[in-house]
Structure 1
């Protein structure tokens, strides 16, 4: 569910900005958009950290394998 919200965010942001700028951006809509974009940013940071954590063992394995099989070692 979070991934679908993140994927839809750019289009939602563009629609919100373009529709509200046509009739001036109200404070409430700007605040709402700001909070929504902060949520997306924070969610991305958390997902990125989880992905980095999940990939760490594979990265270590590849690094060790490369160092063992690298020419001249």
Structure 2
């Protein structure tokens, strides 16, 4: 097996390995990257909005910070 060969790139069902990169159109690839990127960034936005409000939520519920978290 040379350095460029891989079991993932093996010729299966008569399909050339190069065609695996053409499975999605360029527009579809952009949307996939956008959705995956959004899924990675979204938790940071949620944390940035929720964490600063913990003291007020704890005060409103007559509780402690640890219980609210």
**TM-score normalised by the shorter chain: which range applies?**
0.3 to 0.5
Using CA pairs below 8 Å that are at least 6 residues apart, which structure has the higher relative contact order? 1
TM-score, length basis structure 2: 0.45
Q: Rg larger in 1 or in 2?
A: 2
- Structure with the higher helix share, 1 or 2: 1
TM-score, structure 1 as length reference? 0.43
